[in-house]
Amino acid sequence: MKKLLIIFFSLMVVRLGAQTNVVILEKHGENVKTYATGMEITFETIYHQWFDGLITAVRHDSIFVNDFPFHYKEIATIKAERKGLNYTEDGILLMIAGGGVLLLNAVNGAYRGDKAKSWYTSGSIITATALLAGGFLLTKSRFKTYHLGNKFALEYLALDLDKK
């Protein structure tokens, strides 16, 4: 019985230990990101078409995105979503705050009965402009694009055992 268990676990380890091929995004030869089966990817081909989806397989110098194959040299640009901040919601909140500063100054000036040209001070305009511009830039910086060419390169690394 012990021999059967040992054989079973040995075969299971051999089967589970198989590695798949990967595609590596490099910047001047250093690894930036590694793409393997099961990961999400968004990229532009050399034919100026954008595709995104799940990598279903990486084999024979091709990346299969939603079971549709692309040779790794057909990829011109890779777009990756930044994970550090909640870029969209934080940017929108900053823009709402900038609009709120402008609205609050207008309401306060009208309530006090001031002339319309004296509702805004230079400090409030600078604050509102900084909040609006910062929010806009934050929402636009949600994605980072890697244009393949001089600085970035895509390398195919074959790790599978059954090479043909």
- List pLDDT tens digits, range 85-94: 788 888 899 9
Inter-CA distances, 3 with 12, 15, 130, 132, Å: 14, 18, 72, 70
Mean pLDDT score across all residues of the chain: 85
Specify the higher pLDDT residue, 82 or 19.
82
Q: What is the pLDDT of residues 113-135, one digit of tens each?
A: 888 778 888 888 999 999 999 99
Residues 6+ apart with CB under 8 A from 30: none
- Secondary structure E strands in the chain: 22-27, 30-35, 40-45, 50-59, 62-65, 68-71, 75-81, 143-147, 152-157
pLDDT tens per residue across span 6-34: 666 666 555 454 567 899 999 998 998 99
Model confidence, pTM? 0.64
